[in-house]
């Protein structure tokens, strides 16, 4: 139950490895089923465009989940994320083709807190545009 990364080994400015996650329509269908969020804007171009979107978009919670995975994989322990918050900025549009979209996650340690905890600030982009803002995790390191 202990993170692989030790608090003593990080400082303000420590960067997490950049992660790039492909997101295809199949991934959206899988996430819809797993989460129970069946909103058709995540699988129907007809419905998505009727509400003014450019096309089917990824669930914000899928993007948040992927960014959380980048932090868990860095820390080496999914239980290390004790607090995690995001603001959903721009939608991730997922075209109906074999490659889909890409979500890129970067992170850096922004603050060293007490009890071995650090705050990691995340920069999450797709197609060069920021899709999450104020994306922050408090991570309990080993």
Partner 1 sequence: MALDAGLVGRSYPPSAVYEVGRAKIAEFAAALGSTDPVHLDTEAARAAGHPDVIAPPTFAIALTLSAAGVVVEDPDVDLDYSRVVHGEQRFVHHRPIRAGDRLVATPTIEAVRTVAGNDLLTTRVDVATEDGEPVCSATSMLVARGAA
* Residues from 60 through 89 that contact partner 1 (CB under 8 A): 60-62, 64-66, 68-69, 72-73, 77-79, 81-88
Nearer to partner 1, 33 or 54 (CB): 33
| Residue whose C-alpha is closest to residue 4's, from 12, 13, 16 | 16
x/- binding map, residues 20-59, to partner 1, per CB under 8 A? -x-----x--xx-xxxxx-------------x--------
Q: Does 134 bind partner 1 (CB under 8 A)?
A: yes
Per the CB < 8 A criterion, the answer to whether 63 and 101 are in contact is no
Angle at 123 between CA 4 and CA 79, to 5 degrees: 30
Which is nearer to partner 1, 3 or 13 (by Cβ)? Answer: 3
CA–CA separation, 66 and 1 (whole Å): 21
- Largest distance between two CA atoms of the chain: 52
Distance between CA atoms of residues 88 and 103, nearest Å: 14
Interface with partner 1 (CB under 8 A): 1-2, 21, 27, 30-31, 33-37, 51, 60-62, 64-66, 68-69, 72-73, 77-79, 81-88, 134
């Amino acid at each position: 139950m202990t993170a692989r990364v030790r608090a003593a080994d990080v400082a303000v400015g420590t960067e997490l490895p950049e992660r790039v996650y492909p997101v295809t329509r199949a991934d959206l269908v899988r996430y819809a089923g797993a989460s129970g969020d069946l909103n058709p804007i995540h699988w129907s171009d007809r419905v998505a465009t009727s509400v003014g979107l450019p096309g089917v978009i990824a669930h914000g919670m899928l993007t948040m989940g992927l960014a959380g995975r980048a932090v868990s994989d860095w820390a080496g322990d999914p239980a290390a994320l004790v607090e995690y918050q995001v603001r959903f900025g721009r939608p991730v549009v997922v075209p109906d083709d074999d490659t889909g979209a890409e979500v890129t996650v970067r992170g850096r340690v922004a603050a060293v807190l007490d009890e071995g905890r650090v705050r990691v600030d995340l920069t999450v982009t797709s197609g060069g545009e920021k899709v999450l803002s104020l994306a922050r995790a408090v991570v309990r390191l080993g």
